[in-house]
Amino acid sequence: MARYTGPVCRLCRRQGMKLFLKGERCFTPKCAVERRPMPPGDHGQRRRKVSEYGEHLKEKQKARAIYGVLERQFRRHFQDAQRQAGATGENLLKLLETRLDNVVYRLGFADSRNQARQLVTHGHIQLNGRRTDIASALVRQGDVISVMPRSRETEYFKVVGETLAKKSVPRWLELDPAALSGRVLTPPSREDIETNVNEQLIVEFYSR
Ligand code: SF4
């Protein structure tokens, strides 16, 4: 599955806010938003009036950057959200939140969604006891997400195992640090999703 491979700090600078795409580095003074708090490019410092369309587009791009999803798949998630009962924007965020790569990140197995995605695509993660390498797979209530037995012996997961006990997970998930596994207790509600996105603007973008 294709993914964005360009410089991710540019995406934060374009949004003018931290999107926390790089794990630990985002919490240090090395963060590009702190060092260069202006949009990227030669004309980054120019003041520009942003149109209504521009605002909607920016919000959609923000959500895409946060969850690391390319346009085609993002639109597909949006269409799925439209088909579900309830508010489309909320449905969209819930779909994005239940992606396997996001859940691996939320459980603390990875420092960023990019890293979580790599863990999944490289076959380190199993869903309900079966190896799953599809980052966009959606988890459901009762699903168990765990690290493959052979991967638990790797240096990376030994370090992760030592730090997991200190991490907190969203209330819709349950973490068993000793077993390097987690469970989906309930589908996430909008309040459970801390992502700083105005989903209504995204709905308006696609409703043009
Ligand atoms: Fe964004 Fe993190 Fe890069 Fe800072 S370090 S600009 S928060 S990705």
Greatest CA span in the chain, whole angstroms?
54
User: Do 152 and 114 belong to one domain?
Assistant: yes
- Residue whose Cα lies nearest atom 2 of ligand 1: it is 26
* Residue type, position 12, single letter: C
CATH number for position 173 = 3.10.290.10
User: Do 85 and 115 belong to one domain?
Assistant: no
Q: How many domains in the chain?
A: 2
pTM over 0.95: no
113 Cβ inside 6 Å of ligand 1:
no
- Residue whose Cα lies nearest atom 3 of ligand 1: it is 9
- pLDDT tens figures, 183-202: 999 999 999 998 889 999 99
152 has a pLDDT exceeding 80: yes
47 has a pLDDT exceeding 80: no
Domain housing 150: 99-184
The Å distance, Cα 22 to ligand 1 centre, comes to: 6
Per-residue pLDDT, 44 = 67
1 has a pLDDT exceeding 70: no
- pLDDT tens figures, 107-141: 999 999 999 999 999 999 999 999 999 999 999 99
Cα distance between residue 92 and residue 82, in whole Å: 8
Contact 39, 14 (CB under 8 A): yes
- State the distance between the two ends of the chain, measured CA to CA, in whole angstroms: 28
- Residue whose Cα lies nearest atom 4 of ligand 1: it is 31
